[in-house]
Amino acid sequence: MSLLELEAVNTFYGDSHILFDVSMRVEQNEVVALLGRNGAGKTTTLRTIMGVLAPGSGTIRLDGKPIGGLPPYVIARMGMQLVPEERGVFGGLTVEENLRIAALTAPAPWGLDRIYAMFPRLAERRRSRGGSLSGGEQQMLTIARALIRDARIILLDEPFEGLAPLIVRDLVRISRELAAQGRTIIVVEQNVVAALSFADRVYILNNGHVVYEGTPDSLHANPEVMKSHLGV
């Protein structure tokens, strides 16, 4: 039994059919990259897993238990956290206040020292307001908010978008550390090179359909798929 399983999931925005019989699995301690062009359905997949969107049909299981259609706060309490593309930092609150709020309802939150050891830059900016942080610092904060809740599964939606190469390098390093520590990660990312550098397996979506599943090595060995579905 996989940690997370999607079986023939269909998701709609109103009358628009976005995901078509999407099936995928994620194992414990695995990093899965979900790739595809803009509009392929990647973010919709994460939002459906997290309960932000209810699947129209199909099954989503976490630890073998159906979670499709449960509200996000219930799924969060089961150990899953979504790090959204828009970040959602509280701009008027300090870094530390953002973290403390995230920890309030966590069953077993991390201590701030543990967070700051992983994100030294946040320790330096702990009294700075969220709105004054750079894009990279805000992304660190959004990931830190998920970790302080001791998330078992972290859903990363475009974590490297618009960031400088040095910041991307640091975030890739942090993602690798999390994976090495046993966190399970699903990453949606347009930066294919960065995503494949720490993924164990890859799914590619095209127009809401899963069109490829394999390892990064097997994907690199299939340039036709890379070009056709990823433009690289």
Residue appearing with tokens 């520590």? 181
The helix (H) or strand (E) run that includes residue 60 is strand 57-62
Does residue 160 share a domain with residue 65? yes
What is the C-alpha separation between 188 and 158, in angstroms, rounded? 5
What is the C-alpha separation between 172 and 38, in angstroms, rounded? 21
Does residue 32 share a domain with residue 107? no
pLDDT at 12 over 70: yes
Does residue 106 share a domain with residue 71? no
Percent of the chain past pLDDT 70, that is, above it, reads 100
Q: Structural domain tally of the chain?
A: 2
Q: What is the pTM for the complete model shown? A: 0.91
What is the C-alpha separation between 168 and 136, in angstroms, rounded? 8
Instruction: Give the CATH number of the domain where residue 194 resides.
Output: 3.40.50.300
Dump pLDDT digits (tens) for 15-62. 999 999 999 999 999 999 999 999 999 999 999 999 999 999 999 999
Strands in 57-62's sheet, in edge-to-edge order, are: 16-26, 4-13, 57-62, 65-66
Does residue 165 share a domain with residue 139? no
Print the domain residue range for 134: 86-151
Residue appearing with tokens 């347009």? 190
With contact defined as beta carbons under 8 Å apart, do 151 and 183 qualify?
A: yes
Percent of the chain past pLDDT 90, that is, above it, reads 74
Dump pLDDT digits (tens) for 160-188. 888 888 888 888 888 888 888 888 999 99
- Residue-level pLDDT at 232: 62
